[in-house]
Amino acid sequence: MASPAVVDISRWQFAVTAVFHMSFPALTVGLSLFLAVMYTVYLRTGNPLYLQIFRFWKKIFAVGFGLGVVAGTVMTFEFGLNWGRYAHAVGPILGVTIGMEVITAFFLEAGFIGIMLYGDGRVRPRTMAFACWMLVVGTLLSTTWILSANSWMQDPTGFAEVGDQFRASDWWQVLFNPAFSYRYPHILLAVLISAAWFIGGIAAWYLVKQRALPFARRTLSIALGVLAVLMPVQLYAGDLTAVFMGAHQPAKLEAFEGNWKSDNNGYNLLVVPDTDKGENTFQVAIPHLGAVIGKDLSGKAHVPGLLQTPEDERPDMWSVFYGFRAMYFTALAMFGMAFAGLVLRLRGRLYTARRFHRLMVWMAPAGVVAISGGWITAEAGRQPWVVYGLIRTSDAVSHLSLGAAIAGLTGFVTVYALLLGLWIRYIVRTVRTGPEHLVTDAGTTVHATEIGHA
Amino acid sequence: MLEYASYALVLLALGAYVLLDGYDLGIGILSLFDRSDQRRKEYNELIATAWDANESWLILAGVALWAGLPGVYATVLPGVYLPLIVMLLALVLRGTAIELQSAAPGYRRGWGLVFGISSLVATVCQGLVVGGVLSGLPHRGGVFTGSTWDWLTPYSVLCALGMVAVYLLAGAAWLQDKTTGTAHERAGRLGRPLILAVAVAGLVLGFGLRFADPQHLGFDQPLRATLFGLAVAVAVVCAATAWYGFGRRPDWRPFAAVAGTEAAGLLALVAATAPVVVPPDLTVHAAAGPHGSQLFLLIGVGGCMPVVLAYNLYAWWVFRGKFARPPAHTDPAGPPDTGAAAERSVPAAPAAGDGPWAAVAARRVLLTLLAVAVAAVSQDVFGGVRVWIGPVGVALFAMTALAGWIRSDRRSAAAGEFDLQAADK
């Protein structure tokens, strides 16, 4: 048995690296689709505006994608570094799933990103478009495999336990487990939405500053269009996921509703849980709303509490409750903004509503915040299990000395904090510089191949 | 037999990684010793098109090991915890440095330094990992049981030095192939001393293996001895070809020869140690995953591999030949105010249509209620009451939003709000 300190440190290390890694795909999956569509539209219409959009976002995409790749490389090895016993037990199942991700998706992305970023002037525009679309396929495949692997840990099916290892008895059930069918649409919508907020927020900044106006209007319009369509669908998909998870992992639902005893019909806004006593020392709740959300419109049904779960199987209420609140309240704000955007648009004032633009700028990171919150809810809510109901996290950790584990965590936190700062500074600088001019003084358009490397 | 196929897959990925990322790590280290900013920028750009694809092989090696030989994965990774973490952190910083350097217009000394140093650190750590594994790691039941510093042995330190020499050689060979001018001449001059260094490293590490490796190396078996001898002979021939090829045309020859040397060297190592993967006694048989998993992995990966190789070759072909400096960046969109002047003179949309205060307030309250209703329906709050409203209602809202969006977008386009040329003038 490893010491509890090593388990905690390893958990922190995994949480930090996973949330950090996740925030890059959260933007780049949607951005790759956006870039591919923009380049294709440019090819079909020849309108330089779309080339300008493509060039500008390509710069942000390039660095974000690179950071996502290196952070992902770390994840591949972390399963074995700190979680050697877990790696040994689930290698025959999850190793294969992630192996398939690497061979089908990772190589595809890596092979075509070079062409997409540096191919201008070397390949024909059609080949460029092809590379862009291959990148989209790669990022989507990647999301699919990773979600499949993670969902299996949430709700394992299709396996047999042989000795201390898990073996697949039915690969179809392993890959397309029930949790996957709920969580996959949810996360797919989430990554598209978070990219749309990011794009929309930056476009709004140009509108506030009155710069690069056609560029800003066009991208804001696309981003808000996507959001107006996807936000209601996402709220629905998220609700389905929550209902499914509530049925399969009751402790997670209990923790994110923030109740201990099952005698409350309200909806908790704030809680200060006391884990040792099993009660909230402070709590702000809206009466009856919890029951209404639980599909009892009379508002009387009681919301189940965490005391129903045996003590050694309870997740940490702090992280699950506030992770969920971060996701859900950001989602409501996003929904409201998308709705307001649609109303403004129908009234023809989308490009003149100053206050709305300022709010939009603040909403730029909203999607990433919501995804991080959701990820924390899903992963912390699964505790104390690493594979739900089968392997406890404390039994999964490697044989490590405390010093090595602390050194690892310190290294990651330092480097990642530095990277986060650099990434934000890079975005700010790129946005300040603005999109490049593509129209010469004579009014003729410069074409892709003549400009070359961008 | 399947476990040997998994082992072969791991070796293939590792070999490809050592060859491909080896040359770009080597170029990174070389950039530390180059005084010309222009050349250092050139080295970075040369790598920027390919490092991502090169590093993918490391990831493949990692997951193939996890899926195919979970016993090795779970023993080696905790066993070489510190050098592996430092290597990963170095690779993270290196990727960041390459991307940010490539995105910046000129040469940034700081990023160049990070690029060079992290390349060196990653290489040294890889050598320490290999040397640490070859020196043996204690384990039981597929799980590492040793202590934190087990990987630090004299042999692993020698391995780290050897790794630096090998990567530098590959880097120099790649530079001869891809560059012209002074960088090309430098690469040609560096080649032969580096081959000597690699040869010395090979001899020291080869003889040192007998003492470092806690298992009994069975060179008395004729098959093993023959294979080992053959691999060493091929390595020597390839190294001699590289010796001849440095500084001479055709420019691709040194790199091809170095590739041959590296592959033969890896095979010699495998011939000496197989079937043991982690000395003294963890064999491929003991470490292998169950039959079904390996079969799935091998069919999946094997089926995809030709496609992967095909587009990797295509990407390589796109950037074939000598590296050409990309044309200078086009100017960004000037000072903040250009193009905005005309826009500013147009007054903001008139306030007409807003009506009196009460009407505005009433409209906003109604709209807020409508938004709450839409949110409630998409949340399926009424799902327990009327089942049909869920998916149908949500689809209805999404379609309405889409229709509204398309209509307004067309109107904006017709009004010239997206007209780049008009705004630019």
**Euclidean distance between CA atoms A147 and B236, whole angstroms:** 48
Q: What are the tokens at A323?
A: 């992770």
Average pLDDT of the segment spanning B68-86? 86
Contact between chains at B315 and A211 (C-beta distance less than 8 A): no
Q: Please report the pLDDT score of residue A294 as a whole number.
A: 66
pLDDT bucket at B423, cuts 50 / 70 / 90 = low
pLDDT tens, residue by residue, A67-89: 888 888 888 888 888 888 888 88
**Euclidean distance between CA atoms A218 and B86, whole angstroms:** 44
User: Could you state, in order of their start, the residue ranges of all structural domains in chain B?
Assistant: 1-319, 358-415
Q: What are the tokens at B191?
A: 């080649």
User: Which residues from chain A sit within 8 angstroms of residue B293, using beta carbons?
Assistant: 91-93, 95-96, 167-168
Question: Between B45 and A279, where is the model more confident?
Answer: B45
Average pLDDT of the segment spanning B114-125? 92
Where is average pLDDT lowest: A382-386, A435-439, B353-357, B400-404? B353-357
Q: Which of B289, B402, B421 is facing A443, going by the closest CB pair? A: B421
Question: Between A120 and A299, where is the model more confident?
Answer: A120
Q: Please report the pLDDT score of residue B34 as a whole number.
A: 81
Residue of B nearest to A65 (CA): B99
Host H or E run for residue B282: strand B282-283
Q: What is the mean pLDDT of chain B?
A: 81
CB count in 10 Å sphere of residue A150:
21
Contact between chains at B412 and A400 (C-beta distance less than 8 A): no
pLDDT at position A438 over 80: no
Maximum distance among all alpha carbons in chain B?
Answer: 100
Architecture field, domain B1-319: Up-down Bundle (1.20)
Q: Please report the pLDDT score of residue B343 as a whole number.
A: 40
> Count of A–B CB contacts within 8 Å?
387
* C-alpha distances out from residue A424 to A30, A31, A365, A433, Å: 18, 17, 11, 14
User: Which residues from chain B sit within 8 angstroms of residue A98, using beta carbons?
Assistant: 63, 66-67
* Residue indicated by tokens 């045996």: A310
Chain A nearest-CA distance from B190, in A, is 28
Chain A nearest-CA distance from B423, in A, is 7
Q: Which of B56, B305, B401 is facing A229, going by the closest CB pair? A: B401
Dihedral sign, CA of A179, A181, A182, A185?
Answer: positive
Helix, strand, coil fractions of chain A, as percent rounded to 5: 70, 10, 20
Q: Please report the pLDDT score of residue B326 as a whole number.
A: 53
Q: Is residue A282 part of a domain?
A: no
Question: How would you classify the pairing of strands B139-140 and B143-144?
Answer: antiparallel
pLDDT bucket at B164, cuts 50 / 70 / 90 = very high
Percent of chain A with pLDDT over 70: 93
**Euclidean distance between CA atoms B223 and B56, whole angstroms:** 34
Contact between chains at B63 and A98 (C-beta distance less than 8 A): yes
Contact between chains at A99 and B297 (C-beta distance less than 8 A): yes
**SS3 of residue A51 by DSSP:** helix
Residue A3 amino acid letter = S
Q: Which of B73, B327, B336 is facing A91, going by the closest CB pair? A: B73
CA angle A154, A155, A158 (to 5 degrees): 135
Cis peptide before B280 (omega within 30 of 0): yes
Let me know: does A352 contact B349? Beta carbons within 8 Å. yes
Contact between chains at B96 and A98 (C-beta distance less than 8 A): no
pLDDT bucket at A154, cuts 50 / 70 / 90 = confident
User: Which residues from chain B sit within 8 angstroms of residue A445, using beta carbons?
Assistant: 421
pLDDT at position B331 over 80: no
Dihedral sign, CA of A329, A331, A336, A337?
Answer: positive
ipTM: 0.81
Host H or E run for residue A233: helix A213-248
pTM of the model as a whole? 0.85
Contact between chains at B144 and A106 (C-beta distance less than 8 A): no
Contact between chains at A84 and B348 (C-beta distance less than 8 A): no
Q: Which of B62, B326, B417 is facing A77, going by the closest CB pair? A: B62
Please report how the helices A213-248 and A317-346 are oriented relative to each other, as an axis angle in degrees rounded to 10: 140
- Concatenated DSSP letters of A387-440: ETTTEEGGGT-----HHHHHHHHHHHHHHHHHHHHHHHHHHHHHHHH-PBP-B-
Q: Please report the pLDDT score of residue B78 as a whole number.
A: 85
Percent of chain A with pLDDT over 90: 13
Contact between chains at A225 and B402 (C-beta distance less than 8 A): yes
Contact between chains at B77 and A80 (C-beta distance less than 8 A): yes
**Euclidean distance between CA atoms A38 and A31, whole angstroms:** 10
Calculated CA dihedral for residues A76, A77, A82, A85, nearest 10 degrees: 80
Question: Between A295 and A428, where is the model more confident?
Answer: A428
pLDDT at position A449 over 60: no
pLDDT at position A442 over 90: no
pLDDT at position B143 over 50: yes
Chain A nearest-CA distance from B289, in A, is 6
User: Which residues from chain A sit within 8 angstroms of residue B96, using beta carbons?
Assistant: 66-67, 70, 419, 422
Where is average pLDDT lowest: A182-186, A282-286, B192-196? A282-286
Average pLDDT of the segment spanning B289-301? 84
Q: For chain A, say whether B362 makes contact (Cβ under 8 Å).
A: no
Chain A nearest-CA distance from B192, in A, is 32
pLDDT tens, residue by residue, A416-434: 888 889 889 889 988 888 8
Contact between chains at B425 and A452 (C-beta distance less than 8 A): no
Q: Is residue A266 part of a domain?
A: no
**Euclidean distance between CA atoms B346 and B339, whole angstroms:** 13
Q: For chain A, say whether B306 makes contact (Cβ under 8 Å).
A: no
Q: Please report the pLDDT score of residue A186 as a whole number.
A: 92
Average pLDDT of the segment spanning B52-71? 86
Question: Which spans in A347-401 are helix H?
Answer: 354-363, 366-382
Average pLDDT of the segment spanning A328-344? 88
**Euclidean distance between CA atoms B422 and A217, whole angstroms:** 14
Residue B340 amino acid letter = A
Q: Is residue A16 part of a domain?
A: yes
Average pLDDT of the segment spanning A275-296? 72
Host H or E run for residue B364: helix B357-378
Contact between chains at B60 and A99 (C-beta distance less than 8 A): yes
Q: For chain A, say whether B293 makes contact (Cβ under 8 Å).
A: yes
Question: Between A207 and A450, where is the model more confident?
Answer: A207
pLDDT tens, residue by residue, A3-40: 778 888 888 888 888 888 888 888 999 999 999 999 99
**Euclidean distance between CA atoms B157 and B150, whole angstroms:** 12
Q: Please report the pLDDT score of residue A94 as a whole number.
A: 87
pLDDT at position A198 over 90: yes
Average pLDDT of the segment spanning A57-70? 88
Q: Please report the pLDDT score of residue B167 as a whole number.
A: 92
Average pLDDT of the segment spanning B393-419? 83
User: Which residues from chain B sit within 8 angstroms of residue A401, using beta carbons?
Assistant: 147-148
Give chain B's end-to-end CA distance (angstroms, integer): 71
What's the domain count of chain A?
Answer: 1
Q: Which of A249, A244, A243, A184 is nearest to A385 (CA)?
A: A249
Question: How would you classify the pairing of strands A165-168 and A159-162?
Answer: antiparallel
Contact between chains at B91 and A70 (C-beta distance less than 8 A): yes
Q: For chain A, say whether B88 makes contact (Cβ under 8 Å).
A: yes
pLDDT bucket at A57, cuts 50 / 70 / 90 = very high
CB count in 10 Å sphere of residue A46:
11
Residue of B nearest to A115 (CA): B315
Question: Between B104 and A45, where is the model more confident?
Answer: A45
pLDDT at position A307 over 90: no
Where is average pLDDT lowest: B120-129, B264-273, B338-347? B338-347
Q: Please report the pLDDT score of residue B166 as a whole number.
A: 92
Let me know: does A124 contact B183? Beta carbons within 8 Å. no
Q: Please report the pLDDT score of residue B122 as a whole number.
A: 93
pLDDT at position B342 over 70: no
**Euclidean distance between CA atoms B156 and B212, whole angstroms:** 9
Question: Between A394 and B170, where is the model more confident?
Answer: B170
Residue B280 amino acid letter = P
Average pLDDT of the segment spanning B307-326? 79
Q: How far is CA A103 from the centre of its chain?
A: 22
Q: Which of B288, B75, B146, B61 is nearest to A165 (CA)?
A: B288
pLDDT bucket at B361, cuts 50 / 70 / 90 = confident
- At A386, give phi and psi (nearest 5°): -95, -40
User: Which residues from chain A sit within 8 angstroms of residue B52, using beta carbons?
Assistant: 66, 69, 109-110, 113-114
Which of A103, A117, A207, A437 would best serve as a mutation to test chain B binding (most B beta carbons within 10 A)?
A103
Q: Which of B93, B332, B402 is facing A229, going by the closest CB pair? A: B402
User: Which residues from chain A sit within 8 angstroms of residue B418, using beta carbons?
Assistant: 49, 214, 217-218, 221
pLDDT at position B240 over 60: yes
Residue A316 structural domain: 4-258+305-433
Q: Please report the pLDDT score of residue B420 as a whole number.
A: 74
Q: For chain A, say whether B75 makes contact (Cβ under 8 Å).
A: yes
pLDDT at position A153 over 90: no
Q: Specify the DSSP class assigned to residue B378.
A: H
Contact between chains at A115 and B417 (C-beta distance less than 8 A): no
pLDDT at position B49 over 90: no
**Euclidean distance between CA atoms A433 and B44, whole angstroms:** 23
* Residue indicated by tokens 């074939």: B320
pLDDT at position B235 over 60: yes
Going through A120-265 in order, the beta strands assigned E by DSSP cover 159-162, 165-168
Host H or E run for residue B210: helix B181-212
Residue B243 amino acid letter = W
pLDDT bucket at B127, cuts 50 / 70 / 90 = very high
pLDDT bucket at A297, cuts 50 / 70 / 90 = low
Q: For chain A, say whether B308 makes contact (Cβ under 8 Å).
A: yes
CB count in 10 Å sphere of residue B190:
21
**SS3 of residue A168 by DSSP:** strand
